[in-house]
Amino acid sequence: MKTARDYIDSLRDRDIKVYIKGELIDSDKVIDHPFIKGHVNAASMTYALAGSPQYEDLMTTTSHLTGKKINRFTHIHQSVSDLVKKVKMLRMISQKTGTCYQRCVGFDAMNATYSVTYDMDKAMGTEYHERFKKFLLYVQENDLMIAGAMTDPKGDRSLRPSQQADPDLFVHVVDKNEEGIVIRGAKAHMTGMVNSHEMLIMPTMGMKEDDADYAVCCALPVDAPGVIHIFGRQTNDDRKMEGEIDQGNAKFGIVGGECLTVLNDVFVPWERVFMCGETSCSGLLVERFACYHRQNYGGCKGGVSDVVVGAAALMADYSGYGKAGHVKEKINEMIHLTETLYACSLACSCEGKPTESGAYFVDPLLANVGKHNVTQLIYDIDRLAQDIGGGIIATMPSESDLRNPEIGKYVDKYLKGVADVPTEDRMRIGRLIENMTGGTALVESMHGAGSPQAQKVMYSKLSNLEKKKEFAAHLAGIHSDKSEEE
């Protein structure tokens, strides 16, 4: 397994094309750029903690392919215990980073692809599963970070992929030969892509027969010829070019360093292709990935919310109102909401079942309900944190003002709270609240792993409403032909 240093050093060997604010960054300097460095540090924690005896049970496991000890982020779930430990692991890492550490998307993509390729081979006589197992073995043996790449730009949402005016708005196959395939298009909102080793591309939706060229799943290096990454903006990201205090979470940043990844006629050898035209299985891959990914959110967002709760409580203490009854009540409500998110992630894990491949899959209904809770309850948690934090988190002078020899004394004097707490500490915790409860963080909670409507569609389909009607009719003494037969 890689250490954190091994991981960071391995990123310097790539010939990756990354643009930031219109400028092409030297490939050997990408991970040192102020916009990216924090995301690299967060991801490196998934390697550092795996080497700690204290967290070994959560962070590592045994490969079902080789019997070797591996980082859990490269594992295929083999039991309910694996599903539960994943959620506990995510909460623990979030408590230590206060942000996204980016390996979850690729982790979930590999687990979904593993079971779906097995099902595909069984139904169609293809050989995708064995190909994927070889790729998985490569990932495990080298402890690689994989970027899951599902979301396409989509263009006109009222049209299917093959109906778009521009066919490249969904990733598709443009050529095939004896050696492999050539793909074109783009993937959007790509978390951790610029500091990953490989990307695992999946279709973004269930495809119909006319969309066969868009039913593609494959793996390729993030620095493959023809790949360009355009780094996205984040709220207050120019602060990363300045001092430490104003960043709030200077070491680890906020969210996951998303980008737009352009694929300009990229060649993929057949051994890296795990779906090519099998439209009947594309929807299954999307659903399995989505459910695995939605499982995560009570874990990772539970851990992030633990930090927000702590920050709000510290701000109250530093300001002198930590013992006020209404503040205690608000903090208790934040705790209640946080544990509610966590409970749903544990529940969908505990109700997991094995697929025919042997890999375990979460309960899809509970996974979607849990993620939908995140799209609402995170806003309540963060609203309460902002309430407790006060207006100062939105109007605070900068670190440069605090350090200025002429006016710094005024900032220090008039932003003082409790006498024995340094003004700088109060400013630091205020900036952390601002950083973690505004802008990008809330957008990711709302739309990461699918917008709220996506979960509604899924749990409406999975909830078996007709059976619920039967329960009610039976108790009311209404006997349909179907209920009488039962």
Examine the pLDDT at 155 and tell me if it is beyond 90: yes
Q: From the candidates 293, 372, 375, 434, give the one annotated as an active-site residue.
A: 293
Average pLDDT over residues 339-354: 97
Average pLDDT over residues 226-253: 91
- Whether 259 is a known active-site residue: answer no
For 385, residues 6+ apart whose C-beta sits below 8 A from its C-beta are 308, 309, 311, 312, 334, 433, 436, 437
Q: Give the phi and the psi of residue 61 in degrees, each rounded to 5.
A: -160, -170
225-229, 323-327, 441-445 — which one is most confidently predicted on average? 225-229
Could you tell me if residue 477 is inside a domain? no
Surface-to-core class of residue 398, CB atoms within 10 Å of its CB (0-12 exposed, 13-18 middle, 19+ buried): middle
Give pLDDT tens digits for 189-229. 999 999 999 999 999 999 999 999 999 999 999 999 999 99
Same domain, 218 and 254: yes
Sorting pLDDT into bands at 50, 70 and 90, what band is 44? very high
Examine the pLDDT at 171 and tell me if it is beyond 50: yes
Sorting pLDDT into bands at 50, 70 and 90, what band is 369? very high
- Domain-ending residue, one of 282, 311, 342: 282
Nearest-angstrom CA–CA distance, 314 and 422: 13
The residue segments making up the domain with residue 246 are 4-282
Could you tell me if residue 483 is inside a domain? no
Same domain, 296 and 420: yes
Intra-chain end-to-end CA distance of the chain, in Å: 55
479 vs 89, residue with greater confidence? 89
CATH number of the domain enclosing 109? 2.40.110.10
Annotated binding-site positions for FAD: 191
Same domain, 210 and 314: no
Picking from 336, 329, 326, the residue whose alpha carbon sits closest to that of residue 305 is 336
Residue where the block lists tokens 């179907």: 482
The answer to whether residues 276 and 173 touch, using CB atoms and an 8 Å cutoff, is yes
Residues in the chain: 486
Same domain, 77 and 171: yes
Could you tell me if residue 393 is inside a domain? yes
Q: For the chain, what is the domain count? A: 2
Give pLDDT tens digits for 124-138. 999 999 999 999 999
**pLDDT at 483 (0 to 100):** 46
- How much is the mean pLDDT over the chain? 93
**pLDDT at 452 (0 to 100):** 67
Could you tell me if residue 428 is inside a domain? yes
Could you tell me if residue 365 is inside a domain? yes
Nearest-angstrom CA–CA distance, 436 and 307: 9
Give pLDDT tens digits for 292-312. 999 999 999 999 999 999 999
**pLDDT at 486 (0 to 100):** 47
Could you tell me if residue 107 is inside a domain? yes
Same domain, 292 and 428: yes
**pLDDT at 454 (0 to 100):** 79
Nearest-angstrom CA–CA distance, 80 and 360: 7
239 vs 146, residue with greater confidence? 146
Strand order in the sheet with 180-187: 23-25, 18-20, 227-231, 259-269, 180-187, 172-176
Same domain, 113 and 69: yes
Could you tell me if residue 355 is inside a domain? yes
Q: Enter the pTM of the model.
A: 0.90
Tokens of 250: 């200077």
Same domain, 337 and 211: no
Same domain, 397 and 264: no
- Whether 191 is a known active-site residue: answer yes
Q: With pLDDT > 90 as the criterion, what percentage of the chain qualifies?
A: 82
- Whether 276 is a known active-site residue: answer no
- Whether 281 is a known active-site residue: answer no
**pLDDT at 482 (0 to 100):** 56
Same domain, 226 and 373: no
Average pLDDT over residues 413-434: 94
Same domain, 152 and 47: yes
**pLDDT at 484 (0 to 100):** 47
Longest dimension (CA), the chain: 86
Q: From the candidates 75, 99, 104, 189, give the one annotated as an active-site residue.
A: 104
Q: From the candidates 258, 278, 287, 434, give the one annotated as an active-site residue.
A: 258
Annotated binding-site positions: 191
Could you tell me if residue 411 is inside a domain? yes
